[in-house]
Amino acid sequence: MKINLQRAITSLTNALDFVGTDEFQHGKRVALMSAAIAHEMNWSQSHRVRMLYAGMLHDCGVSRAKEHRAITETLEWEGAQKHCLRGADYLAACPPLANFSSIVLWHHTRWTALLQEDLSEDVRLEANLIFLADRTDVLLAPYFVGAALKNEILWEYPEVIKRIADMGGTLFAPLLVDAFRRAASRESFWLAMDPTYIEDQIDDQLHSSRPVELDTVGALAIAGLFAHTVDAKSSYTLEHSTRVAGIARHLAEASGIRGEHLDMVEIAGLLHDIGKLRVPEEIIDKPGPLTREERAFVMRHSYDSGHILRKVFPGQPIAEWAALHHENLLGTGYPFHCQATDIPLEARLIAVADIFQALSQERPYREHMAKNDVMSRIDSLSNQGRIDPEMVKLLHSQLDRCFELAVG
Ligand SMILES: [Fe+2]
Ligand SMILES: [Fe+2]
Ligand SMILES: [Fe+2]
């Protein structure tokens, strides 16, 4: 299996951009502004593309809407360092994207402090450029209503430029501020940020760059990175996706699946809940029953996962396996109400791994359960005809290893 890195990053960061629930496309705007300023700096085309990626990925350490809000509403927030450290760690562990780790680590550090650090000039400027674009986006926030950019920006942008320029020499490198001033003095700089144009703008720039293909090992690494982001959404779901992926892979292997097919099952397990980035954490963490409005957020997450993954893995069944993880054999699952015959084996496997791991882990509404209690719940779901009895039989035969993978 081969995937296109450009497409993978743009689609997966769409999910990141939903973390701000009421404020979205932040990563894409930072990407576009960074690339435009890099152009003014006369950086090479590949360097500009690197800044596009860095912009899209820079907040991969942010999973919670509350944190997203604090970072995007305050110019200098004292808690900002945490998401830099988290994001840098995730990226360092992902070989295809490891060279973005240091940019992300330093993207909320003042220029004056960066000069004291033992860093290459490139990393200093790249990290500070992301910081500058990121803070510009904070000042830009009042110019968005719903999915539209207000025309006011076309006469008020000099004020935004001035506020950033005032921070030149302290927060931002004077060289970058000069380049920003030149780039941002054109209306086109701001109009490109219109929510209806922004994706095309990014695609156009990526199209002109050389496509990068990833093999299955690379795809697994990228899936692992985004699984970390999803799992960090709530302390109750820590490691949920990575563990579901491990269980699903183990069960798939025990059922006779081999080779790349196993990697694909693991990838679907890692990313099955990527749509949850859109669910506010108050809902995931809520101990009591959900309201109709809250439940709607939950009901759409597996659909959203499928939508994102179809773009990352076109022509592959991975998106379908992930999208169907809340369907059941009675046809009463969500959101498709699939009949049993329409649910492939791999989706059944992921569904069982998902339920098994969730029951084994503590949740806001209950303590974690002992192995035997988990299995009696699983057996009862199987007896009701909801989950595949063959998969449950497999799980029983591999119980010790699966429990270790679930919570060990
Ligand atoms: Fe940001
Ligand atoms: Fe789910
Ligand atoms: Fe899940």
Both 182 and 38 in one domain: the answer is: yes
What is the β-pairing status of strands 3-4 and 144-145? unpaired
256 contact partners, CB below 8 Å, separation of at least 6: none
Q: Is 304 in the same domain as 320?
A: yes
Q: At which residue do the structure tokens 């799980």 appear?
A: 395
In this prediction, residue 21 carries a pLDDT of: 61
Mean pLDDT of the chain: 94
Same domain, 109 and 39: yes
Question: Which pLDDT value is given to residue 318?
Answer: 98
CA–CA gap between residue 6 and residue 211 (Å, rounded): 7
Measured in Å, residue 214 CA sits from the centre of ligand 3 at 26
Query: Of the candidates 207, 240, 257, which is a domain's last residue?
Result: 207
Distances (CA, A) of 285 to 31, 147, 149, 376, 379: 31, 29, 33, 25, 27
235 and 348 share one domain: yes
Query: Which numbered ligand comes closest to the C-alpha of 84?
Result: 1
Asked whether residue 124 falls in the same domain as residue 226, the answer is no
pLDDT band at 75 (very low <50, low <70, confident <90, very high): confident
Task: Indicate if 140 and 233 belong to the same structural domain.
Answer: no
Phi-psi region of 385 (alpha: psi -120 to 50; beta: other; left: phi over 0): left
Q: How does DSSP classify residue 147? A: T
Query: In this structure, are 50 and 191 located in the same domain?
Result: yes
Based on the residue annotation, tell me whether 276 is a catalytic residue of this protein. Answer: yes
Q: Is 353:251 a contact under the CB 8 Å cutoff?
A: yes
Which ligand has its closest atom nearest to the C-alpha of 69?
1
Mean pLDDT on 251-267? 97
> Residue 91 phi/psi, 5° resolution?
-70, -40
pLDDT of residue 345: 97
The share of the chain scoring above pLDDT 70, in percent, equals 99
Residue at which a domain ends, from 179, 207, 235: 207
Per annotation, catalytic residue among 28, 276, 371, 393? 276
Cα–Cα dist 52/129, whole Å: 11
Neighbours of ion ligand 1 (CB under 5 A): 59, 134
Q: Are residues 79 and 223 in the same domain?
A: no
Model pLDDT, residue 321: 98
Does 241 share its domain with 183? no
Please name the amino acid found at residue 84: C
Q: Are 201 and 230 in contact (CB under 8 A)?
A: no
Which ligand has the nearest atom to the CA of 108?
1
Count up the domains in the chain and report the number.
Answer: 2
203 and 219 belong to one structural domain: no
167 and 309 share one domain = no
Neighbours of 264 (CB within 10 A): 23
Q: Read off the CATH number of the domain in which 400 is found.
A: 1.10.3210.10
For ligand 1, the distance from its centroid to the CA atom of residue 270, given in whole angstroms, is 24
Same structural domain for residues 225 and 189?
no
402 or 285: whose pLDDT is higher?
Answer: 402
| DSSP structure class, residue 368 | -
Q: Quick check: 136 and 164 in contact, CB under 8 A?
A: yes
pLDDT over 80 (residue 146):
no
pLDDT digits (tens, 9 = 90+) for 202-236: 999 998 888 899 999 999 999 999 999 999 888 88
CB atoms within 10 A of CB 171: 21
User: Which protein residues have their CB within 5 A of the ion that is ligand 3?
Assistant: 273, 354
Ligand 2 centroid vs 273 CA: distance in angstroms?
Answer: 5
- Domain closes at, from 174, 189, 207: 207
Residue 347: domain span: 215-407
The DSSP bridge partners found for residue 148 are: 145
Per-residue model confidence as pLDDT tens digits over 12-55 = 888 888 886 666 899 999 999 999 999 999 999 999 999 999 99
For residues 271 and 306, give the distance between their C-alpha atoms in angstroms, rounded to a whole number: 9
